[in-house]
Amino acid sequence: MDVSDDIVQTNHNPEVSTVYSPHLPSDYGFFDWSRLPPEVVSDPHLELVRAVDWTSTGFGPIEDWPQSLRTMINLVLSSPHPAAMYWGSEFSIVYNEAYIPLIGAKHPSLLGRKYKDGWSEIWEAIEPFFMEAVRTGKPTNKEDDRLFILRNGFREETYFSWSICPIIGEDGTTIGLHNPAFEKTRRVIAERRMLTLREVGERCGSARDVKSFWGHVLEALETNPWDAPFAMLYSCKKTDATDSEVSSSYASSLSNTRVYSLEGTIGVPEGHPAAPAILDLKSNAEGFSIAFREALQIEGNIFLNVESGTLPADLMEGLDIQGFSEDMCTSTVVCPINPSSETPLGFLVLGINPRRPFDEDYRLFIQLLTRQLTTSIASVVLYEEEIRRAQRAVRLAALDRVELSHQLAIKSKEAEHSELKFTRLAEFAPVGVFIADFQGKISYYNDMFSEVSCHPRNLDVSRWLESVHPADAARTEANWNEVIRGKKRKTWEFRWKTPWMLPNHLGEQVDRWTLFSASPELDSDGMLLGVFGSITNISETKFAEDLQKRRVEEVVELKRQQDNFVDMASHEMRNPLSAILQGADAVLGSLERYREIASSQDLLEDIESSIDVAQTISLCALHQKRVVDDILTMSKLDSALLTVTPVDVQPIAVVERAFKMFEQEAISSETKMTFKIDDSYRNLNIDWVKLDPARLLQVLINLLTNALKFLRTEPSKSIIVTMGGSVKRPSSKDRRNSLVYFPSTRKAADLTTGPEWGDGESVFLTFSVFDTGKGLTEAEKKNLFQKFSQATAKTEVSYGGSGLGLFICKELVHLQSGEIGVQSEAGKGCCFSFYVKSRRSSRPEIEIPQAPVLRSTGTSKRKESSQSSPAVSSPINDQDFNAARPQLHKPSQSSDGKSSLDYKVLIVEDNLVNQKLLRKALENSGCTTYVANHGVEALEMIKESVYWKGAREDALELSLILMDVEMPVMDGLTCSKQIRELQAEGSILGHIPIVAVTANARQAQIDRMFAAGMDDVVSKPYRIKELIPKLHSVVSKYKDRDTIGVDED
């Protein structure tokens, strides 16, 4: 497409003149401003250029401009860098927008003007370059060219890097000049001033006193006559004072001085009014004294100017300024030279360059110059003070030498005296002292060294290693070589050959022990000079340590023997108790059946009498069991073996569990038992909490046992258990009912902060057990909660007991972050109260079955429950707390009400009496039993059972094993381990449930049983009605996993 078709030609010059036509296609741009109508031009600078009357200039009318002119003008105006073009023989000027900052106030009048008119101040310097370009057609380039131009109302020193490029016309001649220009003024001036600052630093750095410092400052300023056209230096005049009166700081010595003397000038004639020789700032108004005072007030530089009236013009007249000497200096700056916050040490009056504006760059230069002078003079002052100190030190040193000679004589005598004292000290020291040379040969030793080592005096002392005990000789020699060769300080113990005689021990001899310390002495190069050391007789200490070790071992052995005795006594007492209880239960069962069929009154009376005797036997056995359990619990408390294991439980269920255990005894003794829930418990909406139900139940059982025991002879028998709650710890003394809590003798941490307790809210559960017994006097209450102590001596006679029950209660409650106390009056009953700490929780995933709700139990005749017996205050294991375990099945009942289990039970028991009683009781309950006398026989019977790999069709069926622990040939633990090993090897198919039946009741022993592979533990003594649920629980647990040997009726 031909653009010229849409261009309207004019009548002036058809070749070059066109006017913009609005019929250009929209996708074409047209940027030649010289062809556009004025109203179309939108750029501010182009509008300004378009508005120039070009007809009256060397360019001529725009319409007549040749294409070469239009091209060059558009090139210049579109350039982003400063550029100008000079057209024609008169070099008429046109420039772009970036060129405006270079010309200052000349814009916009410079557009279209002749160069010699617009730049008349520099035309004389520039004309030769222009003419050379026109004549030769070659460009000219200048870097950092200094030009003095009038662009801001004064003749200004500037620096430009510029080029002159000829514009060649169609005829081959130069028709114009292209002038790109870049101002470098700021950089060039900054470099010049930085050189001045460097000169000041270097010259002033060589000054050794304040007087020479001022001369070096003037010498440095003279190197830059343009930025320092004149200068005056004043220094603070010192007052007369001797060196001894001069203070440690030069500046502080002038702190009150306001008189300054002229040190030197540049460009100021001598005697000029601007530079009087002395200026007293307190009274003088000559020269620049007023400016000095103002600088003192503002603590900074003062700029003075003739035009603003701050600088009197007469002070500037007659100055012989350097640099631009043809100009008059009209501005100056006063700079205080002050290295501290006190009086300035001097003032600098510096003239301002008349051809440079006092702008931010100039201010920065003055600030840096002032800082340089301040830093330099501070160093000079410090150096001058050091010189004065050194001179003073020299004078003092001369005096000191005289004194030193006198003191040396005194010190020599003191050294001799000290050496004598050291020698005597070494002789009387209670330890052996020695000094060895760099080869390790001992050059000095005291008498105690010989006494401690017993080294023979006829041998060289350096051969002391020969006197070391043979067992320690090699180690001692190695340590000594490490001191000598390794240059390390060493301390070690060893024995000598000569034994040590024990004092007051009838001539008994023991090893002679020594504590040997050796410290090497090194020179500055780390070479060994000698060794200082000492030896100390520690034989007595070693003997005491050995004696103490033996005593500790004896105590440990005694404790082991005590534990073994407790275990043995517990085992031997529990074993016959099982037989007694089971035998008594069997007798009672038989007598009950015979009582129902007795025909004569005499026979019935004999049966009733026999039942009473059998019950008495049970009571006595249970009482003995309670004593054994209390002793075992005390053993655990003494060994800190009792632990608290929190589980999710409902407190109400725990109390009802305790009630259930005492239900038959309450009925037989015609005691009314009532459980009350306090409003404080309901108000807190307590349901599930985390606590140890076994430990809580043990406390409740002990307190209920006590209550029942003391109600035995009372006409009115009633027990009330009340449970409450609180979010705050109950008060140690309840003033409403005179309840006082008894402190524990043991320290126990708050266990509820552990992670196993969860993060629920802390809740304190309170329990009270009230009985209508005879009550306690104040004297009797003082004996409560103490080990092996009862209210009175009569209590033990009347009611029995070990005196440990309440003490154990107190310790168990304290172990659960609680306290226990009592409220009682003689004849008004007794109330034991305690609280334990717990945390709220939620219902567990496996719901725990709760005991039946017991609010109150009525009384009944003794004979209606003649087989019942009192519950016991035995230690409650976690396994025993069945209320906290889900029961999967219950034993089936036969038609006559007896349990019918039909389990095949292997009884492994060496005691024939226990074996016989247990077998008969299990068979009465519907079980089939097999008997082994020890572990080896048990393994042989298992090999004949259906559990053995490759068993015969008529193999023995087994449901579980009742395993005694203490047996000859092979004990229960070893047998259980071998069964589990054979099970792991695959020789035994499936899991055979094993229940330990043992008189070993300590937790550590129970843990070993579980570790050996047993599934549960039943502690002797036990009753069959307690054993049956345990068997059913264990069998049911593995019934779904492995049905081998279990008869599922």
Q: What is the pLDDT of residue 82?
A: 96
Q: What is the pLDDT of residue 253?
A: 44
Looking at the chain, the whole-number percentage of residues with pLDDT higher than 90 is: 31
Question: What residues contact residue 657 under an 8 Å CB cut-off, 6+ apart?
Answer: 693, 697, 851, 881, 883
Q: What is the pLDDT of residue 797?
A: 35
| Helix, strand or coil, per DSSP, at residue 40 | helix
Residue with tokens 């009372």: 714
Q: At what angle do helices 210-221 and 360-428 cross, to 10 degrees?
A: 150
Q: What is the pLDDT of residue 163?
A: 95
Q: What is the pLDDT of residue 87?
A: 94
**952, pLDDT greater than 70:** yes
Looking at the chain, the whole-number percentage of residues with pLDDT higher than 70 is: 80
Q: Report pLDDT digits (tens) over 886-911.
A: 333 334 444 444 445 689 999 999 88
Q: Edge-to-edge, what's the strand order for the sheet holding 331-337?
A: 278-280, 259-266, 231-236, 346-351, 331-337, 302-305
Angle, CA of 635, 638 and 640, to the nearest 5°: 105
Q: Report pLDDT digits (tens) over 711-739.
A: 887 888 899 999 999 999 887 655 456 67
201 alpha carbon, distance to own chain's centre: 51
Pairs from 948-951 (Cβ < 8 Å, separation ≥ 24): 948/987, 948/988, 948/989, 949/986, 949/987, 949/988, 949/989
pTM listed for this prediction: 0.40
576 pLDDT tier (thresholds 50, 70, 90)? confident
**93, pLDDT greater than 50:** yes
653 pLDDT tier (thresholds 50, 70, 90)? very high
Mean pLDDT of 129-154: 93
Q: Report pLDDT digits (tens) over 766-823.
A: 999 999 888 887 777 777 766 545 544 444 434 444 456 788 888 888 888 899 988 8
**1018, pLDDT greater than 60:** yes
**370, pLDDT greater than 70:** yes
Domains observed in the chain: 3-183 (3.30.450.20), 189-391 (3.30.450.40), 427-537 (3.30.450.20), 546-641 (1.10.287), 646-878 (3.30.565.10), 891-1039 (3.40.50.2300)
**239, pLDDT greater than 70:** no
Mean pLDDT of 512-535: 87
**33, pLDDT greater than 60:** yes
Mean pLDDT of 869-891: 37
* Amino acid at residue number 21: S
User: Beta strands 509-522 and 528-537: pairing type?
Assistant: antiparallel
- Closest by CA to 1016, choosing from 1002, 1004, 998, is 998
Q: Report pLDDT digits (tens) over 628-637.
A: 666 666 666 6
User: Beta strands 528-537 and 83-87: pairing type?
Assistant: unpaired
Q: What is the pLDDT of residue 932?
A: 93
Mean pLDDT of 542-565: 79
CB-based burial label for 267 (10 Å; 0-12, 13-18, 19+): buried
CB 476 within 8 A of CB 493: no
Q: Report pLDDT digits (tens) over 662-703.
A: 887 788 788 899 999 999 999 999 999 999 998 898 899 889
**375, pLDDT greater than 80:** yes
**499, pLDDT greater than 70:** yes
Q: What is the pLDDT of residue 572?
A: 65
Neighbours of 175 (CB within 10 A): 19
Report cis status (omega within 30 of 0) of the bond before 1021. yes
| Helix, strand or coil, per DSSP, at residue 386 | helix
Neighbours of 333 (CB within 10 A): 22
Q: Report pLDDT digits (tens) over 408-467.
A: 878 877 777 776 766 666 666 778 888 888 888 888 888 788 778 888 877 787 788 888
Q: Report pLDDT digits (tens) over 977-987.
A: 999 999 999 99
Q: What is the pLDDT of residue 186?
A: 93
Q: What is the pLDDT of residue 676?
A: 94
Average of per-residue pLDDT values in the chain: 80
User: Which range has highest mean pLDDT (117-121, 631-635, 849-853)?
Assistant: 117-121
**830, pLDDT greater than 60:** yes
Q: What is the pLDDT of residue 209?
A: 85
Residues present in the chain in total: 1049
Q: What is the pLDDT of residue 817?
A: 87
Dihedral pair phi/psi, residue 155, rounded to 5°:
-75, 110
- Closest by CA to 535, choosing from 519, 512, 514, is 514
**248, pLDDT greater than 50:** no
Question: What residues contact residue 133 under an 8 Å CB cut-off, 6+ apart?
Answer: 139, 140, 164, 165, 166, 174, 177
CB 327 within 8 A of CB 354: yes
Q: Report pLDDT digits (tens) over 380-401.
A: 888 888 888 888 888 887 787 7
- Give 244's DSSP letter: G
**1039, pLDDT greater than 80:** no
Q: What is the pLDDT of residue 409?
A: 79
Mean pLDDT of 553-558: 80
Query: Which of the residue ranges 4-8, 79-83, 125-129, 626-630 would you say has the lowest mean pLDDT?
Result: 4-8
Q: What is the pLDDT of residue 722?
A: 94
User: Beta strands 1016-1019 and 960-964: pairing type?
Assistant: unpaired
Q: What is the pLDDT of residue 355?
A: 92
Q: What is the pLDDT of residue 506?
A: 56
Q: Report pLDDT digits (tens) over 171-207.
A: 889 999 999 999 999 999 999 999 999 999 888 888 8
Neighbours of 111 (CB within 10 A): 21
Q: What is the pLDDT of residue 18?
A: 42
Q: What is the pLDDT of residue 504?
A: 63
**989, pLDDT greater than 50:** yes
Dihedral pair phi/psi, residue 973, rounded to 5°:
-65, -45
Q: What is the pLDDT of residue 1047?
A: 40
